[in-house]
Structure 1
């Protein structure tokens, strides 16, 4: 008997987008280099290498995020232990919304999602390095 999928990926992403604080690319442009914000790139390593990342961003990935946040994990990244606002982004905003939900569930706060991700960032004139 085939699986009965009751929620689509779109449904789950939509719910995450609806429940995650967000900022647009124009707002985010002014936060690069801020001592109060950390950008977190949730795309996979091949995407990051191919297009570059927002200057100063922490490289994570949707699959490793929880391990990077957890201070007890051998993969913990110390950047996730700072009293700053975390700006999550991916290619278009869906994976980063899911990641933001997981991060908030773990207690990371405050977290915001960059609406439209790298696509919106580039359209707004943002650079990648």
Structure 2
């Protein structure tokens, strides 16, 4: 049995989903029908995040996005577009592919993740973790 590397898994996911450059994603920040989902860990979130994003660590994504789960976040059901991001785009590619596999449409992720967003000079919120 051949084991796929994480690099291969991320590459496969990236081919199956839409990838946005930070500037393209920034155009959606003020759109209330677009949900930004930060799949980084809580400590990463506290170091800054995209304006209006919700925090759903990668390991909790499927439950947060499943309407039948007690952990469901209703924001998923209200969004017409979902933009996922992580630190550098690996976790977000996998997360966006998972959401697409779950049946969500119009899902994308940010190329280069939060680091590319920050380096592009895009706006960042730096308050603590929301409830």
Structure 1 unaligned blocks of 5 or more:
none
Is 2:102 aligned against 1:76?
no
Equivalent position of 1:40 in the other structure: 37
Equivalent position of 2:61 in the other structure: 65
1:16-31 to 2 correspondence within 5 Å?
A: 16-31=13-28
Equivalent position of 1:118 in the other structure: 114
Q: Secondary structure of 1:40's partner?
A: strand
Contact 2:35/2:79 (<8 A) preserved: no
Q: TM-score, normalised by structure 1?
A: 0.91
Once the 2 structures are TM-superposed, how far is the Cα of residue 38 of structure 1 from its aligned partner?
1.1
User: RMSD of aligned C-alpha atoms?
Assistant: 1.2
Work out the number of aligned pairs and report it: 125
Once residues 20 and 31 of structure 1 are traced to their aligned partners in structure 2, the CA distance between those partners, rounded to angstroms, is 17
Cα deviation, 1:49-71, whole Å, max 9, x if unaligned, reads: 1x121010011111000000111
Q: TM-score, normalised by structure 2?
A: 0.90
Structure 2 unaligned blocks of 5 or more:
126-131
Contact 2:49/2:124 (<8 A) preserved: yes
Moved over 6 A (4+): none
Cα deviation, 1:9-30, whole Å, max 9, x if unaligned, reads: 1111111111111110011112
Once residues 5 and 89 of structure 1 are traced to their aligned partners in structure 2, the CA distance between those partners, rounded to angstroms, is 29
